[in-house]
Amino acid sequence: MRLSPRDPLGFTLMLGIAFGHFNACRYAEAAIWADRSIRSFPYFIGGLSTAIAFYIEDGRLEDAQKAKADLLRLSPEWRIPPLGSAFGQIRSLELNKKLREALLKAGMPE
């Protein structure tokens, strides 16, 4: 990100950093990087859906509900993927389960 600070796809890098923190159970840092990613590109469905999970695990319920409303406004048919299927590009069953549980806590539709 330092080499190309104006990269139009920089929001994906920020989301990758957020995932790393989430996977390491550093939820506050994951939520901070999710904030940055969403500010950079607020229409990325994958970013919004994962940010909801990050916010829930960090205890930021108001932010999770706002992201949930934005996500469902942009994509009303969005549903939590079934357990066992890849959540986006994430193939780790453990991480998929962790994301799924957080999204269920947020009240996302299955």
Query: Domain extents for the chain?
Result: 10-105
Q: Mutual orientation of helices 61-74 and 45-58 as an angle, nearest 10°? A: 160
pLDDT at site 75: 95
pLDDT in tens, 17-62: 999 999 999 999 999 999 999 999 999 998 999 999 999 999 999 9
CATH number of 10-105: 1.25.40.10
Dihedral angle over CA of 28, 31, 36, 37, nearest 10: 150
> pLDDT tens for residues 63-105?
999 999 999 999 999 999 887 665 666 777 888 888 899 999 9
Residue 17 CB neighbour total at 10 angstroms: 17
Q: What is the pLDDT of residue 89?
A: 66
